[in-house]
Amino acid sequence: MTNTSLSTREKVEKSMVRRRAAEKRFRAYGMASVLFGLLCLVGLFGDIINKGASAFTQTVIRTEILIDADYLGINKKAEDQEIRNADFEGLIKQHFKNIVQPEGRTERRLLYSMISAGAAWQLQEAVLLNPALLGQKVTVNLIADDDVDQWFKHDRGTDSHNNRMNETQVKWLEQWIEQDMLQTQFNTLFFVNGDSREPELAGIRGAITGTFLTLLVTFLLSFPIGVAAAIYLEEFAPRNKITEFVEININNLAAVPSITFGLLGLAIFINIFGVARSTPLVGGLVLTLMTLPTIIISGRAAIKAVPPSIREAAYGLGASKMQVVFHHVLPLALPGMLTGTIIGMAQALGETAPLLMIGMVAFVVDVPGFVNDPSTVLPVQIFLWSDSPERAFMERTSGAIMVLLGFLVTMNTAAVMLRRRLERRW
């Protein structure tokens, strides 16, 4: 008896080394998995920031230029229209030709390609704003072309071969750097311009406005409908087959791929009802259908969390069912519902696929003014830019992603804060 028990004990003790090692290994796998997830997160953010941080600065050429009224053929009393038609581009070309003294047509073309098409606009805007500048020498920061921008920010001093500057251009650039003409400044254009084919002029204002309008439509529709549906299902719905069917539907819709909502928007909203495509209105309608399940599910959870004692007290004082719900349950559940709505909105903010189906991929230069103007949204803008071959667009894509992530972090933090602040323990 003692013998066998001892031998069992020995067996167990012998096996303990192996079992402890297995235990340690298992634990290490777990820790490695969590670390892997966190590492991916850090890697993703690091990569985006690494690529995109430079999108917030823009290379400019600081130069003193004579706004030659004779060359432009306008005087100080010129109408705005005349100023708009004046050849500022030629003026700038003339100016740089005098500075650099290029030889031959090829060199001239190389030189002109280093200045952005937006530089002429800059001068024009300045003159429009203050016609007194005509005939004077002014110091301006003219926007450089995206290739110059990339070279100055990334490739200078390295023997990188992926820039598109040739030796002559690099020689001029080095001269300009010695004369302190090349500088970087905060990239305001990135935030105030719409989309453009020229990377140095492309901005996200159009996309941000489009996103805002789309989310506005989504919120105005999905919040009231979602709250109403949650109230009905939680407080009024009879327990029968119909209610069960509705519930199954909502749970399934929450997990249906988002692209199918785009198919619905295309076939029903656009083709049958004739809603204009590419607009925040149709985008908002599609995103409403997509976010509704999230809002309804979180809304129901919030209503469920209100203790029955509140309802019973209200009934005891003679309130009707409707009064109990709208005067007592709803105000108490509202913070939870708002949290769910913000999370739903954050989902809608990052959504791209269904919007591709309903034409929000159009190249839209103008900033949309209202919900029925053609527009695009931030995620779709990211998708569009990421397809562009220019290196400068890759930088801008990462910059736009940083802005998008910034919005998302703000919204999610707001949701968490709201929950912390308004959370009640019953």
Partner 1 sequence: MNYSSLIIAVLILLGGAYLLGRNRARAIASQGMRLHSLPTHYGALMALWTGLPPLLLLLIWALAEAPIIDHLLIAQLPEAVQQGSSSDIQLAISKVHNLAIGAGIEAAPELEPAVRHLLDLQERTLVLHSGMVLSLALLGIALTWRRIKADMRARTEVESIVRRLLFASSGIAVLTTLGILASVLYEAWQFFGKVSPFEFLFGTTWSPQVALRADQSGSSGSFGAVPLFAGTLLISLIAMFIAVPVGLMAAIYLSEYATPTIRQYAKPALEILAGIPTVVYGFFAALTVAPVIRELGESMGLAVSSESALAAGLVMGIMIIPFVSSLSDDVINAVPQSLRDGSYGLGATKSETVKEVVIPAALPGIVGAIMLAVSRAIGETMIVAMAAGLAANLTANPLDSVTTVTVQIVTLLVGDQEFDSPKTLAAFALGLVLFLVTLVLNFVALKVVQKYREQYD
- Count of residues near partner 1 by CB under 8 A: 87
Radius of gyration for the chain, computed over Cα atoms and rounded to the nearest angstrom: 31
Identity of the residue, 118 or 344, whose beta carbon is nearer to partner 1 in the bound complex: 344
What's the closest the beta carbon of residue 192 comes to partner 1, in angstroms? Answer: 23
Residue 413 binds partner 1, judged by CB under 8 A: no
User: Could you say which residues in the range 22-51 bind partner 1, by CB under 8 A?
Assistant: 22-23, 25-27, 29-34, 36-38, 40-41, 44, 47-48, 51
Which listed residue (110, 133, 264, 310) binds partner 1 by CB under 8 A?
264
User: Could you say which residues in the range 317-336 bind partner 1, by CB under 8 A?
Assistant: 320-322
Identity of the residue, 176 or 393, whose beta carbon is nearer to partner 1 in the bound complex: 393
Backbone angles phi, psi at 131, to 5 degrees: -60, -15
Identity of the residue, 289 or 338, whose beta carbon is nearer to partner 1 in the bound complex: 289
Identity of the residue, 5 or 166, whose beta carbon is nearer to partner 1 in the bound complex: 5
Segment near partner 1 (CB under 8 A); pick from 3-11, 108-116, 306-314, 344-352 = 344-352
Residue 267 binds partner 1, judged by CB under 8 A: yes
> Whole-angstrom Cα distance, residue 72 to residue 86?
5
Identity of the residue, 26 or 186, whose beta carbon is nearer to partner 1 in the bound complex: 26
Residue 245 binds partner 1, judged by CB under 8 A: yes
Which listed residue (408, 414, 418, 419) binds partner 1 by CB under 8 A?
408
Identity of the residue, 7 or 251, whose beta carbon is nearer to partner 1 in the bound complex: 251
What's the closest the beta carbon of residue 412 comes to partner 1, in angstroms? Answer: 6
What's the closest the beta carbon of residue 169 comes to partner 1, in angstroms? Answer: 26
Which listed residue (133, 332, 353, 414) binds partner 1 by CB under 8 A?
353
Residue 141 binds partner 1, judged by CB under 8 A: no
Residue 365 binds partner 1, judged by CB under 8 A: no
356, 283 contact by CB (below 8 A): no
Identity of the residue, 116 or 278, whose beta carbon is nearer to partner 1 in the bound complex: 278
For the CA atoms of 149, 151, 153, 154, the dihedral, rounded to the nearest 10 degrees, stands at: 140
HEC readout, 251-267: HHHCCCCHHHHHHHHHH
Which listed residue (112, 258, 315, 332) binds partner 1 by CB under 8 A?
258
Segment near partner 1 (CB under 8 A); pick from 74-82, 115-123, 263-271, 306-314 = 263-271
